[in-house]
């Protein structure tokens, strides 16, 4: 009997994928709908992305949900976004349990309403033991503020004599970031065709592959995520070790 050719194993998925979810407003405008409708459809896209990431074997998924600059949007839109956030925090815990997802939030919680902070903390606690996928939502997040806060904390520790300034290195600095307990992203995806990082994970994205897709976030599908992972696998990651 003729020997069958060996099947080539599929490459492992990126461990950590970060996504800038962009295009909710444009999706709604193109359909003559209020921006709130775009945000609601965007929330549905979040669930699709989370389910797809789990099936692909991605271990960490970080989504840029609300930036510290988003407070400048019209008050009615911000209010609608916070109402939507409350709804999903209250009603989607069963989804997290069902899929073995650990939930966490990064960003400055000081400006969020107390009931939202309390629900975030309850959800983090309730899902802490899950280990299939860690879903991190960036809320009231800005990378420059994160870096500034980390530097301030290290400076205070040095002033108190708990840290030798000469011993501060990249690992010690990273340990003071919101993401200290998870690996840096391997892949960043931004939807809607924009090609900016927009103050998102500036330290953590140092060696991530960046993929920009034209799809508006509410239309982001399982296939879009699979295609992005496929593009990631076609790239050679050098980490600065060799030239092009």
pLDDT digits (tens, 9 = 90+) for 111-135: 999 999 999 999 999 999 999 999 9
Q: For residue 176, tell me if it sits in a domain.
A: no
Residue 165 lies in a domain: no
Please indicate, yes or no, if residue 205 is contained in any of the structural domains: yes
Mean pLDDT along residues 148-161: 96
User: Strand locations in the chain, DSSP E?
Assistant: 16-20, 60-67, 101-106, 133-141, 187-190, 209-212
In a domain, 97, yes or no: yes
Give the angle subtended at the CA of 217 by the CAs of 207 and 201, to the nearest 5°: 30
Say what the pTM is.
0.91
Which structural domain, as residue segments, surrounds residue 64?
A: 16-142+184-233
Question: CB–CB of 108/141 below 8 Å?
Answer: yes
The pLDDT value recorded for residue 53 is: 97
At 155, phi and psi to the nearest 5? -60, -40
Instruction: Answer yes or no: is 198 a known binding residue.
Output: yes
Residue 22 designated active-site: yes
- Longest Cα–Cα distance in the chain: 75
Q: For the chain, what is the domain count? A: 1
Nearest partner of 218 among 51, 90, 88, 36, judged by Cα: 36
Q: Tell me the per-residue pLDDT of 175-206, one tens digit each, with 9 for 90 and over.
A: 999 999 999 999 999 999 999 999 999 999 99
Q: According to the annotation, is 92 in a ligand binding site?
A: no
Task: Tell me if 39 is assigned to a ligand binding site.
Answer: yes
**Residue 17: C-alpha distances to residues 72, 79, 83, 205, 219 (Å):** 28, 29, 27, 10, 18
- Measured over the CA atoms of residue 65, residue 66, residue 70 and residue 75, the dihedral's sign is positive
Q: Residue 5 above 80 pLDDT?
A: no
| 244: in domain | no
Residue 128 sits in a domain whose CATH number is: 3.40.1180.10
| 243 lies in some domain | no
**Are 21 and 217 in contact, with CB atoms under 8 Å apart?**
yes
- Residue 26 is assigned to a ligand binding site: yes
**Is the pLDDT score of 236 beyond 90?**
no
| pLDDT tens per residue across span 85-109 | 999 999 999 999 999 999 999 999 9
pLDDT score of 227 more than 70: yes
Active-site residue identified among 22, 80, 186, 224: 22
Q: Which of 40-44, 73-77, 149-153 has the lowest mean pLDDT?
A: 73-77
Backbone angles phi, psi at 33, to 5 degrees: -110, 160
The answer as to whether 69 is a domain residue is yes
Q: Does position 2 have pLDDT exceeding 90, yes or no?
A: no
Residue 140 is a catalytic residue: no
Is 179 part of any domain?
Answer: no
């Amino acid at each position: 009997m003729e020997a069958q050719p060996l099947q080539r194993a599929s490459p492992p998925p990126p461990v950590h994928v970060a996504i800038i979810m962009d295009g909710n407003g444009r999706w709604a405008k193109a359909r003559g709908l209020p921006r709130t409708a775009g945000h609601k459809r965007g929330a549905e896209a979040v669930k699709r992305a989370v389910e797809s990431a789990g099936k692909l074997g991605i271990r960490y998924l970080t989504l840029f949900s609300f930036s510290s600059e988003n407070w400048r949007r019209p008050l009615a839109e911000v209010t609608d976004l916070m109402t939507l956030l409350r709804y999903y925090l209250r009603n989607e815990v069963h989804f997290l349990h069902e899929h073995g997802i650990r939930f966490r939030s990064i960003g400055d919680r000081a400006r969020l309403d107390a009931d939202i902070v309390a629900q975030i903390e309850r959800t983090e606690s309730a899902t802490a033991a899950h280990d299939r996928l860690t879903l991190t939502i960036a809320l009231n997040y800005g990378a420059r503020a994160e870096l500034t806060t980390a530097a301030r904390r290290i400076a205070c520790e040095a002033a108190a004599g708990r840290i030798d300034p000469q011993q501060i290195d990249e690992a010690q600095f990273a340990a003071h970031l919101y993401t200290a307990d998870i690996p840096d992203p391997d892949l960043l995806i931004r939807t809607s065709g924009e090609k900016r990082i927009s103050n998102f994970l500036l330290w953590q994205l140092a060696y991530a592959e960046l993929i920009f897709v034209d799809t508006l976030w509410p239309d982001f599908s399982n296939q879009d995520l699979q295609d992005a992972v496929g593009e990631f696998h076609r790239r050679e990651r050098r980490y600065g070790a060799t030239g092009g």
